Structure 1
């Protein structure tokens, strides 16, 4: 039996130049994903990393099964690759949902005048140099009535939204 060959650890940059579809024992590239078996630095075993095309970092890194000789890794196959793609896609989806939840807040408040309800949203713009947020008021029909820029650390709550509406949408101080 021939020894399996492994891509060098620094070959992440080479992945962009790899063929679109590649099916090897320790490296699979297909459907916008690359699975690569790597040496597990934490122990004597193996790990697999899943990298979405165009991304600099793996979406998923997890343990990988040893082969029959208890020394080399089990080769990748279609079923394993498809499962890894599904799992890595779910990790990315959850990460995007979490990020969206951190950057977008929404509350509904009643107008003090009794004119109905306002939906007030806070959308944080995570600019590296000067992050900020947009505070927006939408009427009962979903039409934007007002929008102001506020600090990225502005705390949106029912009370702060109601205060903004009561102050006729003036920039909170």
Structure 2
């Protein structure tokens, strides 16, 4: 099995039967730890962990893996990119909440953006008018629950630090 090349050649394409690197992605066919089969891992350049690990097809001899080729690599890149995109969307949904409430002065959009800092996680609660202008923003605990009631209470108290 091929060893991963050193970082000095990280941009150079590699097209080997069990190792392909091109366009910012590396596909490596590896022995499947769970059985006698093979798996393929897709790693995006610069990332420490694979974005995708999945089963890989056996070759004709039913012992060694089918070699990687251009078509398979392109399909793996497309699949891995989609997995990364869905993960990023899920992270964004987890760290950003948004809702609108009606007030006497019109619609106010309220957002909560969580900063998941390892030592000091926090969130920013912000209010925006109908034109997108900032009305106010305040730092709150990362576990602040944004819902229609908490947003309305924050607006009713004149913004500032929520109670």
SS in 2 for 1:122: strand
CA distance in structure 2 between the aligned counterparts of 1:139 and 1:169, rounded to whole angstroms: 13
Instruction: Give the superposition deviation at 1:142.
Output: 0.4
Superposition TM-score, scaled by structure 2 size: 0.96
Which structure 2 segments of 5+ residues have no match? none
CA distance in structure 2 between the aligned counterparts of 1:74 and 1:51, rounded to whole angstroms: 19
SS in 1 for 2:68: coil
1:69 and 2:46 are equivalent in the alignment: no
2:51 aligned partner: 59
What do the CA deviations read for 1:90-117 (whole angstroms, capped 9, x no partner)?
A: 0000000000000000010011xx2101
2:79 aligned partner: 87
Which structure 1 segments of 5+ residues have no match? 1-5
Instruction: Give the superposition deviation at 1:18.
Output: 3.9
CA RMSD of aligned residues (A): 1.1
- Checking the alignment, whether the CA contact within 8 Å between 1:16 and 1:54 is kept in structure 2 is no
Change (3 A) 1:59 1:101: same
Instruction: Give the superposition deviation at 1:15.
Output: 5.6
1:123 and 2:124 are equivalent in the alignment: no
SS in 1 for 2:47: coil
CA distance in structure 2 between the aligned counterparts of 1:129 and 1:102, rounded to whole angstroms: 19
Instruction: Give the superposition deviation at 1:16.
Output: 3.2
Instruction: Give the superposition deviation at 1:170.
Output: 1.9
CA distance in structure 1 between the aligned counterparts of 2:32 and 2:9, rounded to whole angstroms: 23
Runs of 4+ in 1 over 2 A off after TM superposition: 14-19
2:17 aligned partner: 25
CA distance in structure 2 between the aligned counterparts of 1:44 and 1:27, rounded to whole angstroms: 19
Superposition TM-score, scaled by structure 1 size: 0.91
**Pick aligned residue for 1:168 from 132, 140, 158:** 158
1:16 and 2:4 are equivalent in the alignment: no
SS in 2 for 1:76: coil
1:3 aligned partner: none
CA distance in structure 2 between the aligned counterparts of 1:138 and 1:26, rounded to whole angstroms: 53
